[in-house]
Structure 1
Amino acid sequence: MSSTNEQTRPSSTLTRAGALRVPEIVAAFWIVKGLSTALGESGSDFLVTSMDPQVAVVLGFVAFVAALILQFRIGRYLAWTYWLAVVMVGIFGTMAADVMHVVLGVPYPISTGFYALALAAVFIAWYRTEHTLSIHTVDTPRRELFYWAAVAATFAMGTALGDFTAYTLHLGYAASAALFAILILIPAVGYRWLGWNPILCFWTAYVITRPLGASIADWLAKPAHDSGLGLGDAPVVVVLGLLILALVTYLAITKSDVQQPLRRDIAGREDPALNR
């Protein structure tokens, strides 16, 4: 689901917008995104079981806020700060979903529905304010705020959804992972061969990567009596962290996922080609 190429116009009719703050959607994006969702799941579980859960949640929130502050201060896409923010959102988003179920006793179907409504509210507010949900237009602090609010909601909802299929529907982790692997093919096929809306396909796939990655991480880490392989959260975190580190290093060096700046006409309107 790579983005379409930007259409160009004579330079005399164009003005530059702010720097884009999110990466181009290339294959590496989906790989690192999938690894980060899995890391968020195992990382959260490791922290809340290796220390006082309340301390773990506070630390997760602090790291989450610090990573986002750093990302906003950079004011443009930089592989290191962007993916650090994604990983921290993944860890804290998992904690938020788990707190709602474990601490507050909210059933997984209700917590999944709650976070789905929260995500819908973010999308509605984003669209009404900016008139697009395209990541090709995230070039201002306000648009970036909407973007990260949507990302956080997808992580929380995806965590609850993965637990819903694994526990409430009794599918277990492996079957849940297989289910979400099939589901994520739907927007991919729709975009590639059926001409579906690219923005809708992107966000649908983005949401599904969360329960897919979380289910795989739990399947690898959890003990056999919980339908896992029993590798443990810590080893899974280390392996996933090293893979992410290697890929982000590659992206930081090659800059192969850096988007081209937005172009606008002399009236300040965005090029419609960038919103497809």
Structure 2
Amino acid sequence: MTAVFWIVKILTTGMGETTSDYLARTLGPIPAVGSAALLLTAALIAQARTRHYVPAVYWTAVIMVSVFGTMAADIAHVALGVPYTASATAFAATLALLFLLWHRMEGTLATETVTGGRREAFYWSTVMAAFALGTAIGDLTSATLDWGYLPSGLLFTALITLPALTHRLPGLSPVLTFWWAYILTRPLGACFADWAGVSHNRGGLNLGTGPVSLTLTVAITATVTWLNTTNSTRRHTPQTPART
């Protein structure tokens, strides 16, 4: 995984958070969830039909998982009254179960082995659970514990650096460090996006969820367009054999 992957990943988590809030407020919770579910289904079908990595298709699916995963966690709290401590625990248990089943049935959790079929189904189910868990954790620290969005964002920034600092330690699984960082990108991006979008009396910059979502969308689109161009060039350019 390159640095660009992690940058786009964090951008999608922030965009998913503010877009979810914006759509729920402008369309209403039920139409917003229904629309997000349909778009998510279409994005995952398109991803499942691709026979190789297509950045635009893959990141569209990630964005829709981010939007829908945010809505799932928020609805559990707002509509059903489930505390974030309970939803975070439930999503963590779900994620652990998915990891257990995935590893028992496929023998590995490494993302480079995901090439379709059952492994891809496990991968996207895990990504969905990871997004929902990250949403619940971010809201738990920023709202329930009342730490605020910026302090919470700084906390998750510190936590996400641990895999980067320790991934070369002997005996430490790169798969473990990947998923640790992957889960934490969700509360990290969401907390900073919320901090930028919410009002001053909530500890934010009051830029608005709509403008923040638009800005992040433009940044994601520009980066993914560049990735698409790079990926296409690599597929059509003869590769020089590595020298030994």
Asked if 1:154 corresponds to 2:133, the answer is no
In structure 1, distance between residues paired with 2:169 and 2:205: 37
Asked if 1:85 corresponds to 2:61, the answer is yes
Aligned residues: 235
8 Å CA contact 2:102, 2:108 repeated in 1: yes
Partner of 2:160: 184
Partner of 1:133: 109
State which of 46, 50, 65 in structure 2 corresponds to 1:70: 46
In structure 2, distance between residues paired with 1:195 and 1:213: 29
Partner of 1:226: 202
In structure 2, distance between residues paired with 1:194 and 1:85: 35
- For 1:126-161, what per-residue CA distance to the aligned partner results, in whole angstroms no more than 9, with x for missing partners? 000100000110013111110000100010000010
Q: Which amino acid aligns with 2:29?
A: P
In structure 1, distance between residues paired with 2:125 and 2:11: 20
In structure 2, distance between residues paired with 1:113 and 1:68: 26
TM-score (norm 2): 0.93
TM-score (norm 1): 0.83
Partner of 1:203: 179
8 Å CA contact 2:48, 2:116 repeated in 1: no
| CA shift for structure 1 position 73 | 1.2
Q: Which amino acid aligns with 1:200?
A: L
In structure 1, distance between residues paired with 2:161 and 2:169: 12
In structure 1, distance between residues paired with 2:16 and 2:52: 24
- For 1:214-255, what per-residue CA distance to the aligned partner results, in whole angstroms no more than 9, with x for missing partners? 001100000011111110011001100000001101111112
Partner of 1:36: 12
Higher relative contact order (CA closer than 8 Å, sequence separation 6+): 1
In structure 2, distance between residues paired with 1:134 and 1:53: 36
Identity %: 48
Structure 1 segments of 4 or more deviating over 6 A? none
Partner of 1:95: 71
Partner of 1:213: 189
Partner of 1:271: none
Q: Which amino acid aligns with 1:162?
A: G
Partner of 2:240: none
| CA shift for structure 1 position 195 | 5.7
RMSD of aligned alpha carbons? 1.6
Q: Which amino acid aligns with 1:114?
A: A
- For 1:251-275, what per-residue CA distance to the aligned partner results, in whole angstroms no more than 9, with x for missing partners? 111129x89xxxxxxxxxxxxxxxx
In structure 2, distance between residues paired with 1:225 and 1:154: 30
Partner of 1:104: 80
State which of 98, 104, 113 in structure 1 corresponds to 2:89: 113
Q: Which amino acid aligns with 2:40?
A: F
Q: Which amino acid aligns with 2:26?
A: S
| CA shift for structure 1 position 188 | 1.2
Structure with the higher helix share, 1 or 2: 2
In structure 2, distance between residues paired with 1:194 and 1:185: 18
The unaligned stretches of length 5 or more in structure 1 are: 1-24, 260-276
Asked if 1:49 corresponds to 2:25, the answer is yes
| CA shift for structure 1 position 196 | 2.1
